[in-house]
Structures are given as C-alpha cells and as structure tokens.
Amino acid sequence: MRSLLFVPVDDPRKVAKALASSADALILDLEDAIAADRKDFARRACVEALGSEHGAKKLFVRINALDTDDALSDLAAVVRARPFGLVLPKCRHGDDVRLLASYLTALEARDGLPIGGIAVLPIVTEISAAMLTLASYSAPVIPRLYGMMWGGEDLAADIGASQNRSSGGEYTFPYQLARTMCLLAATATSTVAVDAVFTDFRNAQALEQEAADAARAGFTAKAAIHPDQIETINRAFTPTAAEVEWARRVVSVFESNPGAGAAALDGKMLDRPHLRNATRVLTRAGR
C-alpha cells in the first residue's frame, strides 16, 4: 500500500471519483470533513460506499475521536459493512487503540463477523500530549494495529502555531519531530508508517519532493487529499527497475553465501543491513 486518499463520504461525486482513482486505499471520512448536522447522513453514505465495487482498494473509515459522542455511533453504523480498517484520529496513546479494538470485537460478535477482521490505523501526533506516549504502542502488543499515521495540521492547531512550515516550505522542528517519532514508533511495532497529507495539492513539484523524501526515510505510504496527488505518491513509493535489480542481486549474493555476515558485490562490501533493505525493496515492489 502506497497511497491513501481521504474523501468526504457525504459527497457522492467525490466518492465516485475516489473509487475510480489509482489510490491503493481510500479513507472514507466521517470526522473533520463532515459538518455536525450531516453526520447521520454521512454514516449511511459510508455504508453504501463500503458496499460498492472497489476492486483491490482497501477501504478505511475515519471515525470521530473516541472522546466524542459521535465515535460509538460511527462504529455501530459502519462495522457491519466490514471496512478493511478504521482510522482513529486524535489518538492519545496505545490504550485508545486497545479500547477501540475491544469495541470492534463486541460489534463483530453482534454482526456475526470474524473477530479481529477490521484493522486500526491511528493518527498518533495530532495532539501535543500524544507526542509523549508513542512508546505505549509497542508493549504490550496491540491487536489489530495496522500502522501509524502522523498529522501536522491538527498538531499545529493544538500547539497554537500559525504555521507548521518555514518560509521555504520545510516542516519546522516540532513537526519534523512528530514525523520522525511516528516513523520510529511504526518501525518498533513492525507496522506500516504513513506520511501526512501535503495540503498544497496544486504544487505537484513540492509533493514529489516530499513523497520521495518520505520513501527514502522509511515511510511506506503517504496520505493524500486530492486524486491528482495519487500518481505522484504511487510513483515515489514504487521502487524503480534499477532499485529492484540491485535488490535482487544483493539477495542473490547472500543466498549464494548462506550464513555469511558480509559479502562482496561490484567491489563493495555488503552486510546484513543491506540484505534487510534489499528484502524491503522487493517486498514494496511486490516481488
């Protein structure tokens, strides 16, 4: 999974466009994109969208935060439609995910669904207090945890910052830290690390740079807010033919030298970290 496209689920035109896009996953949004007086309508629309033809796309639903009155209503409505997963916003710590997992178990039992079938993808940096609890996701093991996403817009609002980027377009330090901590927390739990949305959706060049930087850093996917961003994101998170060939050769060298801690390739010494990276490249390429 390389790209996750947010879509306001109460807009049929946008839902249809998202379903027809090349996004690997959709996030059907019941939270920020939906006005308070349209929540019930959006839940019904979400169930309808989950039942539509979507091919190989993974369909997530972003519910409202657990400390709101809407969260349980969201869950009661959408679980029976069997989304691939739920995106949990404003997640404060690992215990929020554990609580959501317990709700899901009860609702899956209610609806006669396989227990544990719905994954959870929390957004782990949207409030400043959550930045201090990222270690709570790694122990004890959290069932259903699919990955972690970070977000800089809500974090800026929580901090009271007027901007989260410098005049040159780079994230300022608090948001660089949030991004890094999300990546490390996802790595510690062996789950998917999802980079935040790039809000200037008309600036394709800057998006391309940010997505490429995220892929090099170790993120495995990036969220999007507009279908026009998907092609750029997918390209950034798809290994090139040259990268795949290099990875195959690295794996081949170590397979030819089983038990070796290091091996030579093209006059350079490789060790086990190179093999791990090569394996990841082949996994990302689906090979």
Tell me the pLDDT band of 142, cut-offs 50, 70 and 90: very high
Please state which of the ranges 73-82, 139-148, 223-232 shows the lowest mean pLDDT: 139-148
What are the sequence ranges of the domains in the chain? 3-236, 241-284
Tell me the pLDDT band of 287, cut-offs 50, 70 and 90: low
232-241 mean pLDDT: 92
pLDDT of residue 165: 96
The region, left, alpha or beta by phi > 0 then psi within -120 to 50, assigned to residue 112 is left
Nearest to 87 by CA among 129, 25, 41: 25
CA atoms within a 13 Å half-sphere pointing along the CA-CB vector of 52: 20
pLDDT of residue 140: 84
pLDDT in tens, 102-114: 999 999 999 999 9
Q: Which DSSP state fits 202?
A: T
pLDDT at residue 229 greater than cutoff 70: yes
**Fold (topology level) of 3-236:** TIM Barrel (3.20.20)
The pLDDT > 70 percentage for the chain reads: 100
